[in-house]
Structure 1
Amino acid sequence: MSQGSGEVDRPDRGQGSGAVAAFLEQAAQVPATVPAGAPRLLFAVDATASRQPTWDRAAHLQATMFESAAGLAVKLLFYRGFQELKATPWVADPKRLQGLMGRVTCRAGATQLARVLDHAAELAKGGDLKALVFVGDCLEEPPDAVMAAAGRLTLAGVPAFLFQEGHDPVAGPLFAEIARLTGGVHHPFDGASPAHLKALLAGAAVYAAGGWSALKDWEARTRPPLRLTSRLGGR
């Protein structure tokens, strides 16, 4: 799987619409603007039918990641429908990422978190992937398969930040275990409070760009409503 910022990563074409596929192909033709060696963050979002409100909210708030961490490159990865998993090129422009997200609509389907974790582990082979951020609410996959994929991400040395909307009793413990294994964070948020998701996305971006000390300094300056340092435990 290529990490080149001018190529579209498509783990699987699935049953996606031709319009989305065509748009991603068009996006891939835009000249690369991501600096060599820039820290990279994989931003994965559950785009199944129930996630439309969160998708729209994340699309609006994703600029927070760029505003909080200069020089960060972000790749959007989403799943939806029947085994559809797609990724955009690496981008370093919040407006471009918002445009990519704005072309995607949510569709009914099962979760594919194991594939997200495996894709992150594959991207990590390039050496510049600093964090995986996942936004979702539930888990409908065999736990053993998900945890095996989490183990592969752990070996790749990439922390997973899992931001869970709501408190699904099945997903919560598994998300927490993935975060523990990878050295990341599991943090629930209230879907009615965009400020919480904004703070979580910003904090994860700061960590990806500068690590623990940068996150600690950023939280001391901005005093966000949700703090990741309390969950990371000084890593």
Structure 2
Amino acid sequence: MSTNLLGELSAFGLAIGFSPLHIGLLLLLLLGPKPLQRGGLFVAAWLATAALAITLLLTVGHGLLLSMDKGSDHLTGLDLLAAGALLGLGVKELLNKNKEGAGPPGWTRRLDQFCAMPLPLLLAISAGLQVASPDDLFLFAKSASSLLSAGLGRGQELLATGIFSLVSASLLLLPLLALLLAGPERMLPLLERGKQRLFAKGDLLVGLVSVALAVYLGWQGIEGLRLA
């Protein structure tokens, strides 16, 4: 498994994992009752959803015998579509942030309602949101295409899928592990401050990350057109 492949999977996994909505939900769960149990199940559901999404895409890719070599029509088209979707998302988030000014974004007002739901329903909705947005779907597809183009064996594909899932969940695992290791007395004030900063700056950071990934994928698509 090459370093370039691991770097790509890590970049796409982090981009998917940087979801202010899911991180905000986790922080609220950790600040509420039974934090380790509820937060742990939330993170486990994220890991399972990410692994299942990649596994399904790999299964479809192998079943259709798609060519995912650099410069192929499938991969070049996916790169350009993903770049367009991420650029649109990034510009939208940056413009929305400018319109909202210093106030918290609108999505933060819905988080308390989500957290009040029964945990199984919350986990099901969270899993749906994890793969529902077009930009995340493109990133999942791009990650699967990178694995297909690498020509790995099934064992290595499973290992790479596990690594991708762990990286995508890393921003959720950090506060959960910190609470587990350091204890509520030390971590709850830090988690509360982290939540406030996330609500204030989350959309701005998502916009910047999306634009950066759009530039990278656009460059990959243009390189693919040159090779085609």
**Into which bin does the TM-score normalised by the smaller protein fall?**
under 0.3
Please tell me whether Structure 1 or Structure 2 has the larger radius of gyration of its CA atoms: 2
Q: TM-score, normalised by structure 2?
A: 0.27
Question: Which of the pair is proportionally richer in strand?
Answer: 1
Question: Which of the pair is proportionally richer in helix?
Answer: 2
